[in-house]
Amino acid sequence: MVVTRFAPSPTGYLHIGGLRTALFSWLWARRNGGKFLLRIEDTDLSRNKEEALSAILEAFDWVGLDYDGDVVYQSQRFDLYKKYIDQLLEEGKAYKCYMSKEELDALRAGQMARGERPRYDGRYRDFTGTPPEGVAPVIRIKAPTEGEIVFTDGVKGEIRIAASEVDDFIIARSDGTPTYNFVVAIDDALMGLTDVIRGDDHLYNTPKQLVVYEALGLTPPRFYHVPMIHNEQGRKLSKRDGAMDVMEYKRQGFLPEALLNFLVRLGWSHGDQEIFSREEMLEWFDPHEINKSASSYNLDKLLWLNAHYIKNTPNQKLAKLLEDFGVSIGDHDRMEFLLDATKERSKTLVELAQNIQMILEAPAEYDPKAVKKAFKGEAFEILRAFAAKLREAEGLHLPSDYHRLMEEFVKEREIGFGKIGQPLRVALLGKMSGPGMDEVMAILGKEETIARIEKAIETLEPKE
């Protein structure tokens, strides 16, 4: 059985790089009928934030990534980690190091001055003397001193690291709290992880974790290190580029389906296909096919995907989603017309809400450039005549009814469509942009359309 996990630390909000890792891990587990586990790596108690933990769980709920079993919190497993630390000490595979901070700083300064890579020199590895007073020791694991540490990465292929590159690293701090690489290896083994998919910033943590697996006689999982997401200039993604809290995407009007579709294509592909349903992702995703090079974040592509999903979301569901953006149209008798008229031109739910409000709320002002362009010659007379024709008309319900009326009007007056279309658009919406006038009038209804026309004439027509 395939068992994967996502293991964030609750020191900040979940960002899209983390969500992509979680998505890849979730897809691989679910595709294989396995388990996807959630573990919170909160051993650094001084940096944990309760609100960050809540945000991680909220983001998972929003995008619909379910996990198996209970959330595992490393802060609740300290007794377990201590048991393994004591085991390694008893077996002579770990030792107490009494090196002071001043000694360590001096060691590193000397190594850097000689052009060497800073590393612990193993001075307490086989220490049998009297411990110095006043120094609370850390616990270091005995790393191999010769040969290579070799593993196969599912993305990058075979990785070979000289044993000399890994020093006797700390597995427990002087206050007894365990360190990251130690607890990750123990938890991944005890939780039955078969596959670990994570960012390639963890690639060089892997040799240290393999040292822990070897010392404890545990079986390591298969590793897949995913290249980072870069901005369009090829640099590390910043908040300005999109590396923000996942829930900020919700606040900006993105649909979770669009965000997941966008993320799955950052580093993985299936032919030239760009749009993937969740079912298709589950059918085709394979971490062995993850690209070896970094991915490029493209906001235009995300907006294009989001527009696609908005257009293809049922209107009842859209109406419900819009409530978070201050728009309540679930009970509006023209809800279907309203959404059909606006969702085709909306890239986000924020835009959709604005486009809906532009129709439902009578214009409080009129765009000066649009007024100058639309109200020329006989524009006011044409608007009055059109309002009169509207008043006399019966059976106006559908956009096609209003369109037919406009066709009759321009034919009777022998004018071009723009002669009525432009001033009518400004009268109804206050600007030149927006949906077709037949759709807008069908949404507003006859009486409101006439009222807006009359208000525009009263407001804009020059007074003699």
Q: Copy the structure tokens of residue 443.
A: 């949404």
Specify whether the CB–CB gap between 319 and 183 falls below 8 A: no
At residue 377, the pLDDT reads 87
The predicted pLDDT at position 309 comes to 98
Contact 75, 42 (CB under 8 A): yes
Angle, helices 349-360 vs 437-444, to 10°: value is: 70
- Which residues of the chain form CATH 1.10.1160.10? 246-315
> How close are the terminal C-alpha atoms of the chain, in Å?
84
Catalytic residue among 83, 93, 156, 239: 239
The pLDDT of residue 394 is 92
Q: What is the pLDDT of residue 118?
A: 86
Is 311 marked within a binding site? Answer: no
Within 8 A by CB and 6+ apart from 311, the residues are: 343, 344
Q: Which residues of the chain have pLDDT under 70?
A: 46-49, 239-243, 464
Q: Could you tell me where in the chain the CATH 3.40.50.620 domains are found?
A: 78-226
CATH architecture of the domain covering 78-226:
3-Layer(aba) Sandwich (3.40)
Domain 246-315 part of CATH 3.40.50.2300 = no
Please tell me the predicted confidence (pLDDT) of residue 353: 97
DSSP string over 212-247: HHHHHTPPP-EEEEEPPEE-TTSSB--TTTT-SBHH
Beta strands per DSSP E along 88-220? 94-97, 138-141, 148-153, 157-162, 170-172, 195-199
Q: Which residues 6+ apart lie within 8 Å of 458 measured at CB?
A: none
Q: What is the DSSP string of 138-156?
A: EEEE---SSSEEEEEETTT
Domain ranges in the chain with CATH number 1.10.10.350: 317-460
Residue 223, beta-bridge partner list: 153, 196
Active site residue 239: yes
Number of H helices, E strands in the chain: 19, 12
Decide which of 1.10.10.350, 3.60.20.10, 3.40.190.10, 3.40.50.1000 is the CATH code for 317-460.
1.10.10.350
